Amino acid sequence: MSAADLRVDLGRGCALPNPVGVASGTFGYGFEFEQLVDIQQLGAIYTKGTTPLPREGNPPPRVAETAGGMLNSIGLQNPGVEHVARDYAPRFAQWRVPVIVNVAAATVEEYVHCLRVLDSAGGIAGYELNISCPNIAHGLDFGLDPVAAGRVVAAARAATERCLVVKLSPNVTDVGAVARAVEDAGADAVSAVNTFVGMKVHLGIRGPVLPGRGTGGLSGPAIKPLALAAVARVRAAVRIPVVGVGGIASVGDALEFFVAGADAVQIGTANFADPGVAPRVAAELADAAERLHLSRLTELRWQPAPTPA
Amino acid sequence: MSAAVPVSDLRQARDETGEVIAVEELGGGLVELTAHLPWLAAHAIAGQFAQLRCGPGPVPLLRRPFSVAWVEGQRCSFVFERVGVGTRLLAAMRPGDMLQSLGPLGTGFTLRRGVRSVVCVAGGLGCAPFPLLAAQAAMCETPRVVVLHGAATAARLYPADRFVRGLDAVEVREATDDGTRGHHGLVVDLLTRELLDGAGAMYACGPNPMLAATVRALAGTGAPPVCEVSLEAPMGCGFGTCLGCALPVVRGEEHRWALCCREGPVMAADDVDWDALRALPPAHVA
């Protein structure tokens, strides 16, 4: 039989050569990893969250390890959208791997401003709207409410012709409702999910390890069952592509997200412990598709029985 | 980031897996692990570190950073104590087990030819980079390398002969908090004017408060032309991507965060914002 077709179309010309991307905040803008591994084997790079102005980030400690997980409160340290458009985008244009710039902002106007600045640059395949950063003041506001989420996505949709992926927060009652709202507002795809709000406490200091509010975003294998449930919920709520993310560290993990309803995946925290993991999973996914006699990975998708009303 | 800031070269780093050769108990809880890691052995500069995978499972999830303590042929050694799940797993490794290492990472100490002497100040596990530093300084034809080493008690001192490793140039002076060996007091007390006069460099590694005390002790004396400290911070990836290991630095009026894993762990003492560093919780809290 012929090899499986692993390409993924996220919409508006954002065509990924394979489904395995790297999650925002775990790969910078690709320049460090470029020196360590072959990034051209990736399906996509979702960049560090990029804000209207440069941000210095939060005071340390910014990371804390937990059982099978990692809490972070980086505070969106990044060089700002102008710098990314001017200095980084021309470097992205040299790569075969599509680069999807993650954008974070505090107001609708700021999101629109960021997209206009980035739209002026080449080398960018699309945008991932971060409407759910748990580590900056007001950063969660849009992602927590379907109406607010729809409002920011509608404005973003009007501002750009490029592909818009919206990254969903799991820290909500019904992630499906937010997913449906952003689909209705014109999102081309959604990624599910961002980190879960968590806290690590140190008995010696009788308080949390992370400063400020003491909370951070939990990622890593510990959240995989939670992320799978969120992907299944989102899959049932929307028709647009779903990018599954949360605790993927192996090809087996990635396949589980296709079962739960994903069209593509992102590898996140695992990149820190194993910088070669994402290119390796991309290669192994092709082998797995052949071994499982799949022509497309979405053939793995679970079809839930209709639930009684 | 201004172009003048030295940043580690990630193209020097490689992920390699090699056999554990030995795991030695040095007494007082210190462990020295030696593994066959040819790439690291060929490229590590004293002060640089490797990210070691401590076990197969999701606990611990992240690798742990360790200074390259010693290089012999294609073998590298690391010195640590069992302070958490990662170091306990490493200490439980046996010869023949496989160890995965990403390195060398971070900045190393600046070694210069043509200096009369260098002084190393090692607090506790801050001993780790100095066996290799002493050997590399000797390779730079430094005729005198003085290692000042302090620990809580005699048993927790890194063995002096492992700093020396047969090199005539290396001399060790010890201090213990409880007076069980050497000077009864702090290692910084050993940093005398006699040692600093004419020294080409002062290198220090240890807990951040000890480094601050060392730098304070230099004020007023004729500080050597190179004064470098190796700092610690809770670290995620070790190669500048997670942005977790921020440390406060200052140049002129500009205060900012620098990544311990890329602009450090070795930094010029003048670049560290010591007041801001003192205000942070100790690295072990994370």
- Give all domains of chain A, ordered by start, each with its CATH number: 8-57+76-197+217-300 (3.20.20.70)
- What six digits make up the tokens of A59? 């005071």
- Comparing CA positions, the residue from A42, A57, A73, A33 lying closest to residue A212 is A73
pLDDT at A137: 55
pLDDT at B1: 40
pLDDT at B283: 67
How far, in Å, CA of B36 to CA of B17, rounded?
8
How far, in Å, CA of A245 to CA of A254, rounded?
9
Is A65's CB within 8 Å of B62's CB?
A: yes
Indicate the residue of A32, A77, A273 with minimum beta-carbon distance to B62: A273
Is A32's CB within 8 Å of B256's CB?
A: no
pLDDT in tens, A168-186: 999 999 999 999 999 999 9
The answer, yes or no, to whether the previous bond of B207 is cis (omega within 30 of 0) is: no
How far, in Å, CA of B174 to CA of B122, rounded?
10
Listed in order, the ranges of chain B carrying CATH 2.40.30.10 are 10-105
Render the burial of A58-86: b for 16+ CB within 10 Å, e for the rest: bbbbbbbbbebbbbbbbbbbbbbbebbbe
pLDDT at A304: 87
Min distance A49 CA to chain B CA atoms (Å):
12
What is the pTM (predicted TM-score) of this model?
0.96
pLDDT at A2: 58
Is B242's CB within 8 Å of A63's CB?
A: yes
pLDDT at B220: 74
Task: Please state, rounded to an integer, the average pLDDT across all residues of chain B.
Answer: 95
CATH architecture of the domain with range B10-105? Beta Barrel (2.40)
A–B CB contacts, 8 A cutoff, strictly below: 115
pLDDT in tens, B103-155: 999 999 999 999 999 999 999 999 999 999 999 999 999 999 999 999 999 99
pLDDT at A103: 97
Residue that is written with structure tokens 């690391």 in the block: B78
Q: For a pLDDT cut of 70, what percent of chain B falls above it?
A: 97
Is A163 an annotated catalytic residue?
Answer: no
How far, in Å, CA of B76 to CA of B219, rounded?
36
- Comparing CA positions, the residue from A57, A23, A29, A61 lying closest to residue A43 is A23
Please identify every stretch of chain A with a pLDDT value under 50, giving residue numbers as ranges.
1
Listed in order, the ranges of chain B carrying CATH 3.40.50.80 are 117-285
CA distances from A232 to A187, A253, B172 (A): 18, 15, 63
Region B117-285: CATH code? 3.40.50.80
pLDDT at A226: 98
Q: What is the mean pLDDT of each run of 10 residues along chain B (286 residues)?
A: 66 97 96 98 98 94 98 98 96 98 98 95 98 96 97 98 96 98 97 92 96 91 92 96 97 94 97 95 69
Residues of B in contact with A28 (CB under 8 A): 240-241, 243
pLDDT at B8: 84
